[in-house]
Amino acid sequence: MIRMKDTLNHAGVNISGDAADLEQLCEALEQIVGEEGEAPAYESIRVRVADLVRRLRGSLQAAGEMAVNVCWPEALFLSVALNRFIKLYYAKEKRPDWERMLARVRKFQEELVACLRRTLPDAAYKPASVALGSSVFLEQEYMTHYLDELNVRFLELKPEKRLENIPVMAKRIVEQGEEYRKCKHAVLEAARMYKCPVDEIRIGAEMPAPEQIIW
């Protein structure tokens, strides 16, 4: 069984489970999002899911608890990103195990919502859970530079302020509003100026490595 809980300083969510459950989750996530380049318009968000899989698999090789910590905005983003890949997955030729893989991914999303329910007061939980609905989708070629910015901004908050900002982060991720548009414009302009791919552009403060975060 995959378990999720808020970290001590509310920096993110702790994802844990036994070796078999974590490996099954990794297998399902890999199958749902597909291979590199399979859906070019959603490659930027596929990379973030692939990074979670890499970290989960890394935890299977480590001594002690098999778990990873994921910053709250990142975790919220991953759940919403999976909605798009699930929709694309339905359109693919069905493999014999497709329903089982889909169920594992949906269970992952449901456990995140359940973790939010256990963590947040009612007033904060409702808008956060609505933002993570199964009919919410991210745009094509989503600029994950904005997600990096939200992660950094969230971690800069004092622990007692983080919980009340979880629904704020969820809203900003899914609404892809003016703040996101400004970030996207800045990235595209920089890529044009330096004549390089957008994934080579870095803006704002750099996200600290997981081991540097006081979770």
Q: At 185, list the tokens.
A: 């414009």
Write b or e for each residue in 16-25: b if 16 or more Cβ atoms lie within 10 A of its Cβ, otherwise e. bbeeeebebb
d(CA 44, CA 33): 11
Buried b or exposed e, range 101-124, using 16+ CB within 10 angstroms? bbebbeebbebbeebbeebbeeeb
Structure tokens at 124: 């904060």
- Side by side, which strands form the sheet with 12-16? 3-6, 12-16, 67-71
Mind listing the pLDDT tens digit of every residue in the chain (215 residues)?
Answer: 899 999 999 999 999 999 999 999 999 999 999 999 999 999 999 999 999 999 999 999 876 678 999 999 999 999 999 999 999 998 886 778 889 999 999 999 999 999 999 999 999 999 999 999 888 899 999 999 999 999 999 999 999 999 999 999 999 999 999 999 999 999 999 999 999 999 889 888 788 999 999 99
CA distance 215 to 213: 6
Q: What is the pTM of this model?
A: 0.95
